[in-house]
Amino acid sequence: MAKVELKNLTKKYGEVIAVQNMNLTISDNEFLVLVGPSGCGKSTTLRMIAGLEEISGGEIFIRDQLVNEKDPKDRNVSMVFQNYALYPHMTVEENLGFSLKIAKVEKEEIEKRVRDAVQILGLEELRKRKPSQLSGGQRQRVAMGRAIVRRPDAFLFDEPLSNLDAKLRTQMRTEIKKLHQKLKTTIIYVTHDQVEAMTLADRIIIMKDGYIEQIGSPIEVFTKPANIFVATFIGSPPMNIIEGDVIRKENKLIIKIDDEINLECPQKIQSSLENKNKIYLGIRAEDIMPKETSDYTNSNWCFQKSINLAEPLGTETQLFFTIKNKEIISRMYNPKDVKVGDKINFQIDSNKVHFFDAETEKTIF
Amino acid sequence: MKHIKKISFWFLVLFLLILICLPGIWIFVSAFRPNPEILSKPANWIPDRWTIHQFTQMFSINGYVSVPAFKYLMNSIIISSVSTVIAITIGMMGGYAFARFNFRGKNKIFLGLMLARAVPGISLSLPLFILFAKLGIINTSFGVILVYVAMNVPFTIWLTDGFFRQIPKEMSEVARTDGCTRLQAFWNVELPLAGPGIGAAAIFAFLLSWNEYALASIITRTVHSKTLPIGMMDYLDEFTINWAGMCAIAVVMIVPALILTFIVQKHLVSGLTFGGVKG
Ligand SMILES: Nc1ncnc2c1ncn2[C@@H]1O[C@H](COP(=O)(O)OP(=O)(O)OP(=O)(O)O)[C@@H](O)[C@H]1O
Ligand SMILES: [Mg+2]
């Protein structure tokens, strides 16, 4: 398997910039996931690596070889498309063996490799069927099989699971993970499903408008998002973002959220906020906890709000309320009946609050 | 009430069907009966005597042949087949290019091709005649083939473009990452998938050439290059018209056309099956 390197990779469609100066090294056997909203350039990146899209600038190295000028067929990467793109006129077996046939591999070898792939993916019963006679999940499996058989340097997956229903998606996700552990291959995987990204990835890349916003392990991007975009993109429900004014009061810094909520700035970040008037607080739903206490003074980051909506999900109940007309979500882990309009005391875990610059939206702390 | 409605509906259908088919049936029947009977009044719908005299006459190798229908048939077959093969080959490549590649002025060229189809062929007949006469290819099969290729290429491009467009471009992309060159991907994946469509386009082109009259009547002069539709006019004498002969030659023209039409409709109805893609 192989290392893939992108240097200043750029793609323009006329005036539209799809990918901008992308720099990235994907190491051997790494499972790299590209996430981002629709149109951010994920597919374009993948297609450039595969050689299906001409690049406007920069360089791509696979196995330390510059492949800019190489045809897709000479790059030895396999791509799995969202719509699978199985050859409709060939049986499952023929689909799997096609690349080897083109490469003029000996017949016995083809048979052996197809047999292996069929076994790995549990397709034994379906060998003689045509794609039109398969279910969505089975087609997906055949598409993966077709990629495996070639033993490529890297796999490229473009939203391979997005056509499957929720249950099958979870199941196939696990299978892809197992497959990666079994085959030990470099995988570049595109999705806009952040759960998929978190569960599969060694490293996640969050993209927006052709730029990389952050690269890091799933835990890293979750606990230390680089900016508001990443913070709200990763995690479900999305992180609550609350605007606050920084007020100086007798050599203390106060973060004023609204008339009722004035939070004392923790010691450790006071210096970072010295010369700011406005900041954004990012608080995950699980860090705004309902608190059974009569003491709801702001000093220990407690406040009281009345509930607009309560959604019991079993293990947790999500409580919705508003601060400055913005909907805020809190997670309550000890299920108890809550009615709309109930006044509830909340406490924010001040250690887990993220602080973002109001102008750049970058993380301050 | 419901029954009556249904029955009257079917009667209407039957009536229309007969109305539409009547000329055709008349031609068939007339091809197999003696000439005088055709003009009898009142019309004689079922011939008193069936005969294949006109056909033996037409195709007789030895003996006197008034109309060299066999030669015309061969001309028709050669001209239609060759022009079809050329037109579908060019059309297939053109259609593929229009469906898969982006190049400058693509839409304008496509529009131009379609406009070329919109020009009535007969309006070109005089310039064509002069041009061909000067080039010395008047009254040759080659000349007719040239005209038919020009006539059919825009048409085959248009049809095959549509068929290639229906094939998701991921098909060829995945084939190319599977180790195919563009040509191999075309040959192994896209062509088999577009095959029925291309076949149908070829048959359409063949039928257009097979039935063409206006231009052929200008460029062909003698038995050397005349096609069946033109040859049919041989039965028009100065003083007499051999209706039976005309009908017989019409049958020779119609039967292959009918068979081909049936083949086309089967392919067009069955369409292409895209099991490889979702849904
Ligand atoms: N052929 C094209 N011509 C012009 N612009 C294009 C073309 N293909 C893609 N784009 C643009 O490039 C940008 C990136 O597209 P891309 O397909 O990579 O997005 P994506 O991240 O894969 O989105 P999605 O999640 O919807 O698949 C988009 O703004 C898109 O409009
Ligand atoms: Mg995409």
Is residue B172 within 8 Å of residue B182, measured between CB atoms?
yes
User: Minimal Cα distance from B189: which residue of A?
Assistant: A87
Strand ranges, E, within A128-210: 154-158, 186-190, 203-208
pLDDT score for A296: 59
Regarding the beta carbon of A11 and ligand 1, being less than 6 Å apart is answered: no
Tokens 């998701």 belong to which residue? B168
pLDDT score for A46: 93
For residue A2, report the phi and psi dihedrals to the nearest 5 degrees: -145, 160
Give the strands of the sheet with A288-290, arranged side by side: A288-290, A343-348, A302-306
Q: Return the CATH number of the domain spanning residue range B69-277.
A: 1.10.3720.10
pLDDT surpassing 50 at residue B277: no
Cα dist. A44→A39, A41, A49, A204, B164 in Å?
Answer: 9, 5, 9, 17, 23
How many whole angstroms separate alpha carbon A230 and alpha carbon A227?
Answer: 6
* A155: chain B residues, CB-CB within 8 Å: none
Q: Percent of chain B scored above 70 by pLDDT?
A: 92
Mark whether A40 and A165 lie in a shared domain. Answer: yes
Closest partner residue to A73 (CB to CB) among B180, B275, B278 is B180
Q: Is the dihedral of CA A112, A114, A115, A121 positive or negative?
A: positive
Question: Is A365 part of a structural domain of the chain?
Answer: no
pLDDT surpassing 90 at residue A219: yes
Q: How confident is the model at residue A214 (pLDDT cuts 50, 70, 90)?
A: very high
DSSP 8-state secondary structure symbol assigned to residue A286: G
Mutate to test the pocket of ligand 1, among A20, A43, A46 (most ligand atoms within 8 A of CB): A43
Identify residues of B whose CB sits under 8 angstroms from chain A CBs.
168, 170-171, 173-181, 184, 188-189, 192-193, 273-278
Question: Is A256 part of a structural domain of the chain?
Answer: yes
Say what the pTM is: 0.80
Quote the ipTM score.
0.82
Is residue B2 within 8 Å of residue B9, measured between CB atoms?
no
Q: Select from A45, A92, A89, A51 the least CA-distant residue to A70.
A: A51
Give the tens place of pLDDT for each residue, A308-331. Answer: 999 998 888 999 999 988 999 999
Mark whether A296 and A153 lie in a shared domain. Answer: no
Q: How confident is the model at residue A205 (pLDDT cuts 50, 70, 90)?
A: very high
Query: Considering its fold, how many domains does chain A have in total?
Result: 2
Closest partner residue to A71 (CB to CB) among B170, B171, B181 is B181
Is residue B254 within 8 Å of residue B24, measured between CB atoms?
yes
Is residue A83 within 8 Å of residue A164, measured between CB atoms?
no
- Helices in B212-242 by DSSP H: which ranges? 214-219, 228-231
B81 vs B235, residue with greater confidence: B81
Question: Is A290 part of a structural domain of the chain?
Answer: yes
Give the tens place of pLDDT for each residue, B165-208. Answer: 888 888 999 999 999 999 999 999 999 888 888 888 898 899 99
For residue A233, report the phi and psi dihedrals to the nearest 5 degrees: -80, -40
* Range(s) of chain B covered by CATH 1.10.3720.10: 69-277
B71 is written with which tokens? Answer: 């030669």
Residue type, A5: E
Question: Is A363 part of a structural domain of the chain?
Answer: no
Subunit contact A84:B277, Cβ cutoff 8 A: yes
Mark whether A198 and A307 lie in a shared domain. Answer: no
Give the tens place of pLDDT for each residue, B72-103. Answer: 888 999 999 999 999 999 999 999 999 988 88
User: Minimal Cα distance from B172: which residue of A?
Assistant: A85
Mark whether A172 and A31 lie in a shared domain. Answer: yes
> In the predicted model, what is the mean pLDDT of residues B226-236?
84
Protein residue with its CA nearest to atom 11 in ligand 1: A18
pLDDT surpassing 70 at residue A294: no
* A150: chain B residues, CB-CB within 8 Å: 178-179
- How many Cβ atoms sit within 10 Å of the Cβ of residue A99? 25
* A79: chain B residues, CB-CB within 8 Å: 173-174, 177
> What ligand is nearest to the CA atom of residue A35?
1
**Containing structural domain, residue A32:** 4-233
Show which of A201, A233, A265 is a domain's final residue.
A233
